[in-house]
Every structure is written in structure tokens, then in C-alpha cells.
Chain A
């Protein structure tokens, strides 16, 4: 009796294992047969894949372009350092004195006085005009005090108050926040970044719907198979499995093709970009998609394609009733 039960248990365990094996085999079959089916209709498949790839590549290109510009501007530290340009009648001694006074200001972190003479020498050294500047009669440059405010980087209002305070000083001609343009550029890049997200979402919808529609057509082409499977007791999960795998392959191959397209386009523009960056004495390196971004691209492309297929199958399989 006991032995019988043991063999029975062993038997059920074995049966369960066999069921699992059959299930996995069915998945493997779905995975490879759907790929085989795609390859047997090469023109149709490649057209669908190309449309998907172009959509994904569009989003990807936009992304990588913005990432490259961000790389360029990201290195620029946006600081609120400002320059106080002193009036002409204020001589260097008076300017130095003002700077010393301002150093005790509670809102100021750091201060640096640049006399007109020093400014002229720096300008000569850096601008490349050199000797030509010697021809000038006097020194047209003003005395400047560079001010780095205390932690008001995130606070526009405090910065404005400080600027207004400086402007009212009798010695000061005008005040300029040195790196304001960086901040503006970065604001523009933030908009571009958001644009990438929006375009990505839009093209993601396109991928979902294109795949969904392809699967819908495929389902109609294989209606008989669906009917017969239903009549011999196939569940919806069983029937939709090969179609879901078809969707997966479409997305996966399209994602890979999109990566190829993006990489080839970057290769094409790399030389001119290097030339341009050389003209600016810059060590700018063109960014390509990283490995993790490549994997993410594949995952998103195949994920969206499967999602589109699933949505269509979920709806259509209930509509298809055997006659």
C-alpha cells in the first residue's frame, strides 16, 4: 500500500515534470517557428521591420543628438559669478578699496579685483590681438570687481536683490552675471530633453500600433488555424503564443536595425564634427549609444511590440468564433 502510494507520488511528479517540459517546448517552438514564419515572407517582414526601425531610429537619433549637446554644455559650470564694471572716473586704488569693503558683505562668498592694467595684459595674452593693442593710446578697459555670491545659486530673487544693490553703488557702471548664457542654454536643453521624451512616447505609440496592425493581419491570414485550434480545445493563451512571439521578433529585429541606423549616421557625421571641434580647440568626443542604452533600446522596442500584439490579440481572439 505504502509502496503503491510512493510510486503514485513518483508518477505524479514525473507527470508534472513532463507537463512542464511540454510547456517549455511549446514556448521554444513558438519562439523559433515565428522567426521561421517571418523569414518565409521576407518582403512583407522586412518592410514592417524597416518601418518600425525608422520610427525607433528617429527617436534614438533625437535622443543621442541632445545627449551630445548636453555633454557639451554639461561641462560648463553655471555659476552666479558676476562682474561689477566700475565707472571710468574710479581709479584702481578706489576700486581696490571698494573690493575690500565688499569682501565683508554677508552675501558674498569670494571677491576678486581686476585692475584695468591687469585686464589689458590678460586680454593681450588671450585674445591674440597682442601687438595691435599697443597701438591704442590709452587703456579703454574698466576696472572690474568679480563677485561670487554665497549659495544663492538656486535663488533668482536673492540674486536679483544683490544685483540691484550693486547697481545703486555710485562707483558701479553696470553689473553682469557672467554665465547667464549657460543657464539659458541649459534651460533650452531641458526643453529639448523633454522634447526627446515626448517624441519618444509618440514614436513608441507608433511602434505599438504598427506591430498591433501587423499581428491583426497575420491573425486574419491564419484564421483557419485559430478556428481549428479553438475547436480542439486550445486556450487563448495557447493560440496567441506564436503571435506574441512574432510581435517580439518584429520589435527585437527592428530595435537592432534602429541601433544600426543610428550608429551608421553617427559614423557619417563623426569626421566633420571632429573637424569643427578642432577649430574650437575642443576635445569634444562624439557620444555613441552605450551598451546599456543599446540593451534598453532592444528591450523597449520588443516590449512595445509585444504590448501592441497582445492588445490586438486580447481583443480579436474573442471576436473570432469558429463557424
Chain B
């Protein structure tokens, strides 16, 4: 599903963020990406999300080389990805329903399809009753679940999560992780960047560790 081959990323002003990183993720695999702050976790996720391009090496996503992908193709490839952020990145002037519907509207789904899929996604994160609420009236955990619903509503092949439990208490974190495991079980590839070591060990999935831009344990 995902393949990194000798990937290097150098920022003109900040130097090397990733040095010769190589790894593979199989379809339906779930993995954690860890490392201290500044180790290159975010950079690695940005390369997959096509927000950055690597300086050297190759990135393959779902059989396609996205290393130097054209600007015009990026939107269509991003529709295969579900992105989840630490700060949720919700639109606060739109309802929960509209937030979750955004990826579907963007892809040109019909009105009926949108309503059906949004409800299904909200049901999966147990927020079905809150579709008319605005994000700021929800708790942090609920907002993160809205973010997760938005990430899965399009039935993506891969989910990328950047510190999804960073702002949540342990109980909520466990709940969120349980959701990710459910997605994995239906064949979605999940990559989670986190430094919550305890959680990682408890769940016992594959761990990719970055240190100063290099991949240590794989």
C-alpha cells in the first residue's frame, strides 16, 4: 500500500528532516510512527499527504509513484486518504454534518449519497445525534471524533493520523485507538504518528521509530 525508498527530505532553511528512509506498509496494516519532536514524523506524513515533495528517493502510494506528482492530480489522489489532525482542523462555522460531508461534496457525490454516508460515518464514531451541532459546542473528544468521521466518510484506502490522541485523556485515547483498529480490520491501512509510548506498547502493533530523520526500528 505504501512504500518509501531511500527517501530524503531537506528543507532549505532547516536542513535534513528525513535521511534515507525506507519502509513498506501492507494493505490493511496498522502501524505507529514514533520519535521525539522534530524527529521527522510530521514531514513523513506530509510526504504521504502530498503536502511536501521529497528531495531524493521515491514514495509509492497504492501502486502509484507520488514522488513528483503533478499539482493537478493531487486532489484526486488525496481522496484515497483520510487525514486526522491533533488540532482536528474542523470548520467552526459549519455544522458537524457539513464538516463530515465536505470530502463527499468535494468529490461530487449526490445529495442522497452524502446524507447516507455522513450518517453512517457519524454512527461509527457514535455522534449520530449531534449532526446539527457546531464543533465549538462539542468536547475535545467529540471534536476529534468528528475529524475521524470526516476522514473515513470517503471510504479511504489509508488513514493518516498526526497525534490524534494528543489532546485527549487516556480513556478517550483508548476509545479512538479502538476505532482505528476497527478500520484496520475492514482493510484500511492506518499510520498513526504519536509519542504516547504506553499506548503503543499496550496495543502491540508495528512501530516505526524516527530519530533525527533516520528510521531506527522497523
Contacts and interface: CB of A to CB of B under 8 A. Distances in A.
Interface of A: 18-19, 21-23, 25-26, 224-225, 227-236, 238, 318, 321-323
How many of chain B's residues touch chain A, expressed as a range?
Answer: 20 to 34
Contact of B78 (A233, A238, A323): A233
A235 B154 CA distance: 16
Interface SS, A side:
helix
A229 B102 CA distance: 7
Contact of B102 (A22, A25, A228): A228
A26 B105 contact: yes
B111 A25 contact: yes
B110 A229 contact: no
B89 A228 contact: yes
A46 to B, nearest CB: 22
Contacts, number: 63
Interface string B36-78: 0000000000000101000000000000000000011001111
Interface of B: 49, 51, 71-72, 75-79, 81, 83, 89-91, 102-103, 105-111, 113, 150, 154
B51 A322 contact: yes
Contact of B150 (A19, A232, A238, A318): A232
Contact of B75 (A22, A224, A234): A234
A8 to B, nearest CB: 18
Nearest to A228: B89
Contacts of B78: 230-233
A229 B107 CA distance: 11
Given A228-B89, A228-B102, A322-B51, A233 B107 contact: yes
Contacts of B109: 22
A232 B110 contact: no
Contact of A238 (B72, B106, B110, B154): B106
The 4 closest A-B pairs by CB, nearest first: A233-B79, A18-B110, A233-B78, A232-B103
A232 B108 contact: no
Contacts of A321: 51
B110 A231 contact: no
Contacts of A18: 110, 113
A21 B91 contact: no
A232 B91 contact: no
B187 to A, nearest CB: 20
